[in-house]
Chain A
C-alpha cells in the first residue's frame, strides 16, 4: 500500500552512509593486486585485433605481463582510494569510475591469465555476442513478464520449445523465416500455459514455471528421440541464417564484425532491446504494463483490465523468448539436440534480476554473463591455467553476490508473483 510515513524535514533525509561501493572496489583491487603481483605469470600476452580477411587490419598488441600487472594494480588501487576519499567526504562514487575500474580489472585479468598466449579480441567479442543473443532475448522476455506482475521461471522451457519448433518447421519448409515464426509461436504456447495456470487458476507462478520447464524438457526429449532422430534428414536439418554484412559499418576494426556482420536474429535482438526500452518507458503500453505490475488495484480502478493485460504481455514475453530459442537451432548449432539450452534460461532469469528489471541493464548483465562464458572458452583454448569450471560458475556466483549484496536496493515490481482477483 502507499506509504503512510510523513517525510520529515530535508536535513533528516540524508541517506545512510554507504561504504559498499568503495569497500568492494578496494577488495577487488587488493585481490587483483595479489594475483598480479604475488602470483605473477611472467611472459607476454598477445592481443590479436584483426583477422586475415579484415578490410582494415590492425597490428597485434603485445603486452608484457609483469609490468602491466603492477601498473594496473597501482591504477586500481588509486581508483579504489579515490572512491574511499569521495565517500569519506560524503560523496558518491561516480559511475565512470566504476566503469573504468571494471575495464582495467578485466584487462588486467586477461593479461595475467593469457600469459604466453594469443588472445583473439574480435573472436572473443563475436563469441560473447553469440552466447548473449538468447540470454538477452530471454531476459527481455523476463523483464516484460515480471514487469506486468508474472514471475517467469519458464524462460528455459520457452527457449527449448522455440529451439525445437524452429528446427522442425525450418527443416520441413526449408524456410528459416517460417522456423523463426514457429519458434515465436512455440514460446507463446508455453507462455499461454503459464498464463492459464498462474492467472486463471492462481497457481503459484514459480511452481508453474518450474513444472513447465520439466514438461517442455520431457516433451522435446521424447519427441526428439521418438520422431526427430529416426528422421533426422527431414525433420532436424534446418537451414541456418546467413550473416548479413552491413556495408561500411561491418568494416570497422574490432567491432565491425561483431555488430554489423550478423544474422537476422541478432539484428532483431538489437531492435527488441530498443523497442522494449522505448515501449516500457515512453508509451501507453509500457505505462499500463508497469502499473499492472506495481499496483494492479490502482490499474483496475482506472479501468485497465489487469488480467487481460497480464495475459497479453506474458504471451508477448513468450514470443520474445521463443525468438531467443530459435537462435540455438537456426543461429548457432544448426540442429536440435536434447536439452541444448543447458540452463541458458536460468542465466537469462539471473540477468533480469541482476539488471534490476530494466531492459537495458538486463541486456548489459546478459552480455556480462556471455562474456564470462566465452572468456573461459577462449582461455581454455589458449591453454590458460584457470579451470574452465570456475569461469562457467561466474555468472551464477555473480548473481548470488548481487542478490545477497544488493538485496535492499533491488526492488522488483511490487506485485510480481501475486495473482490478482476481485471478490
Chain B
C-alpha cells in the first residue's frame, strides 16, 4: 500500500504536455489573509455546496430507511393500492416524527418549559461534540502527515486506562488531580499512537495495519487490566473500574443542570492549537511536507521517520485527550472496555467531513455531536434506534468524498478540477 493517503493515480502513458494534468485541485487557503476570504473561496470552490447536498442526500436516505422500517407504514403498505394516502401519511408521520425528535434532541426542545430546559439539548450536543472534535483533530492531523490513523480506539482506550487510573487510583488536590489525569491520558494515547509511528519509521510497517491491530491489543489489554486490582473497582466482579474521584472530574461549565464540562473549552483550545500547528508552525510544515511528498521531504533534509513518529505522537495525544474526556467528563461512574464508545472510528468520519482542517473538523464535530445527541433523544421519544445516525454519518462521508456523484444526483455543473477533487478529500 502506498504510504501516501491521497490516492496516487497510476497514469497511463507519460504525459508529455507541459502543463501537468494532475494539477492540485484547489489553492490552499492558508496563506490568504482574512477568514472571510477563506470562507468565500470555500463556497466558490463548491466544497460547501457539496457538503450541504451530501447532508441532504444522506438525510433523505435515512428518511427512507426510517419510513420503510416503521411498523405502521409497513401495515398500511399492506393495503397500499386500496388507500395509498394512508401509507404515505404513515410514512410522512414516521419520518417527520423522527427528524423532529432528532432536531429537538440536538438543538432546542420545544416540549420543555422555559428556555433553560429547552436549550439543554444544545448543551448535550456540545458535550457529545467535545471528544469527537478532539479525536477528529487527531485523525485529521495524521491525515495531513500522510498517515491514516485507524487506531483511535486503541489510543482512547489506553488513554482512558491511564487517566482513569490517575483519576481514582491516587489522591491529589482539586484541579491538580484533574490536570495530572488529563496529562496522563494524553501521554497514554500518545504512547500508543507513537508506537505505530515508530513501527512505521523503523520497519516500514504500514500504519493502517498496525493501528487496526493495536486497537485489539489495547482492548484486550484494558479488558485484562480491568479484571486485575490495578483498575478493577473493589468488590466488583465485572470488568469495571472504580468511579473517578471528585477532584479529577472535569468541572461542569454551566452548572449541574447541564452535562457540558470543561472538556469543551479544552477542545476549543485544541482546535486553535491544531490550526496553529498545521498552518503556522515549523513542525506542522514538516508534517505537511512529509504528508504530501515524503521523498522530497527526505531529500530536503527532513527526517521522515522522526516526523512520522512525531505526527503519531501528536495524533495519539489528541485521541488520548478525547479518551480522558470519556472517563473524566462523560462517564465518571467507572468505565468498562467499551469506554471509547466508537468515537475512535467516528473521528475518522469527522476528520474526513472536516477535510482535515482544524476548523472544518470543529464544525464537523459539532454536526456529528448534534446527530448523536439527537439520535439518543429520537430513540427515547420515537423508539427509532439511534444507529440510524451512524448510517447517515457514513453516507455523508462517502458522498463528500465523491463530488462527481453528488453533482450527478443534483445535476450540478462540473467544475474544472474534475475528478481530482475526490482524491484530495483527506488532505485538501
A interface, CB within 8 angstroms of B: 151, 153, 193, 197, 201-208, 210-215, 217-219, 221-223, 225-227, 230, 296-297, 300-301, 343, 346, 349-350, 353, 387, 389-390, 392-393, 396-397, 399-400, 403-405, 407-408, 412, 415-423
| A206-B1, A214-B349, A214-B393 known, 14 other contacts, Cβ within 8 Å | A197-B398, A203-B422, A204-B425, A221-B390, A225-B385, A226-B69, A227-B69, A393-B220, A400-B205, A403-B203, A407-B204, A408-B204, A417-B1, A420-B10
Judged by DSSP, the binding face of B is helix
B55 at the interface (CB under 8 A from A): no
Q: Is the CB of A417 within 8 A of B2?
A: yes
User: Given A346-B216, A390-B224, are A208 and B401 neighbors across the interface (CB < 8 Å)?
Assistant: yes
B75 to chain A, nearest CB (A): 13
Q: Is the CB of A419 within 8 A of B7?
A: yes
Instruction: For the complex, give the distance between the alpha carbons of A222 and B330 in Å.
Output: 24
Q: Which residues on the B side are within 8 Å of A197 (C-beta)?
A: 398, 401-402
Q: Is the CB of B221 within 8 A of A423?
A: no
Q: Is the CB of B387 within 8 A of A210?
A: no
Q: Which residues on the B side are within 8 Å of A397 (C-beta)?
A: 213, 217
User: Given A210-B150, A389-B220, A389-B221, are A203 and B210 neighbors across the interface (CB < 8 Å)?
Assistant: no
Question: Closest chain B residue to A295 by CB distance?
Answer: B10
Q: Which of A221, A297, A389, A403 contacts B206 (CB 8 A)?
A: A403
Q: Is the CB of A419 within 8 A of B9?
A: yes
The 0/1 profile, CB within 8 Å of A marked 1, for residues 366-402 of chain B is: 0000000000000000001101111101110110011
Q: Is the CB of B426 within 8 A of A207?
A: yes
Instruction: For the complex, give the distance between the alpha carbons of A230 and B148 in Å.
Output: 39
Q: Which residues on the A side are within 8 Å of B398 (C-beta)?
A: 193, 197, 203, 208, 211-212, 215
Q: Is the CB of A423 within 8 A of B21?
A: yes
What are some 7 contacts across the A-B interface (CB < 8 A)? A204-B423, A218-B389, A226-B384, A403-B199, A403-B209, A420-B10, A422-B12
B332 at the interface (CB under 8 A from A): no
Q: Is the CB of A214 within 8 A of B220?
A: no
B6 at the interface (CB under 8 A from A): yes
Q: Which residues on the A side are within 8 Å of B397 (C-beta)?
A: 211
Instruction: For the complex, give the distance between the alpha carbons of A392 and B202 in Å.
Output: 26
B149 to chain A, nearest CB (A): 11
Q: Which of A153, A404, A422 contacts B203 (CB 8 A)?
A: A404
Q: Is the CB of B69 within 8 A of A297?
A: no
Going nearest first, the 6 A-B pairs with the smallest beta carbon separation are A218-B390, A215-B394, A201-B402, A389-B224, A225-B385, A389-B220
Judged by DSSP, the binding face of A is helix
Q: Which residues on the B side are within 8 Å of A201 (C-beta)?
A: 401-402, 404-405, 419, 422
The 0/1 profile, CB within 8 Å of A marked 1, for residues 410-428 of chain B is: 0000000001001101100
Instruction: For the complex, give the distance between the alpha carbons of A423 and B16 in Å.
Output: 12
A280 to chain B, nearest CB (A): 20
User: Given A201-B402, A202-B9, are A214 and B2 neighbors across the interface (CB < 8 Å)?
Assistant: no
Q: Is the CB of A390 within 8 A of B220?
A: yes
Question: Closest chain B residue to A342 by CB distance?
Answer: B216
Question: Closest chain B residue to A419 by CB distance?
Answer: B7
Q: Is the CB of A412 within 8 A of B1?
A: yes
B11 at the interface (CB under 8 A from A): yes
B352 at the interface (CB under 8 A from A): yes
Q: Is the CB of A350 within 8 A of B1?
A: no
Q: Which residues on the B side are within 8 Å of A420 (C-beta)?
A: 9-10, 12
The 0/1 profile, CB within 8 Å of A marked 1, for residues 1-21 of chain B is: 110011111111101000001
Instruction: For the complex, give the distance between the alpha carbons of A361 and B167 in Å.
Output: 46
Instruction: For the complex, give the distance between the alpha carbons of A208 and B12 in Å.
Output: 24
Q: Is the CB of B199 within 8 A of A404?
A: yes
User: Given A201-B401, A226-B384, are A218 and B394 neighbors across the interface (CB < 8 Å)?
Assistant: yes
Instruction: For the complex, give the distance between the alpha carbons of A420 and B8 in Å.
Output: 9
Q: Which residues on the A side are within 8 Å of B6 (C-beta)?
A: 204
Q: Which of B7, B348, B385 contacts A417 (CB 8 A)?
A: B7
Q: Which residues on the A side are within 8 Å of B348 (C-beta)?
A: 207, 210-211, 214
B65 at the interface (CB under 8 A from A): yes
Q: Which residues on the A side are within 8 Å of B422 (C-beta)?
A: 201-203
Q: Is the CB of B7 within 8 A of A202?
A: yes
Q: Which of A153, A211, A296, A390 contacts B10 (CB 8 A)?
A: A296
Q: Is the CB of B203 within 8 A of A222?
A: no
Question: Closest chain A residue to B69 by CB distance?
Answer: A226
Q: Which of B186-209 contact A (CB under 8 A)?
A: 199, 202-206, 208-209
B212 at the interface (CB under 8 A from A): yes
A26 to chain B, nearest CB (A): 20
A277 to chain B, nearest CB (A): 23
Q: Which of B157-208 contact A (CB under 8 A)?
A: 199, 202-206, 208
User: Given A222-B65, A418-B9, A423-B11, are A407 and B205 neighbors across the interface (CB < 8 Å)?
Assistant: yes
Q: Which residues on the A side are within 8 Å of B326 (C-beta)?
A: none
B345 at the interface (CB under 8 A from A): yes
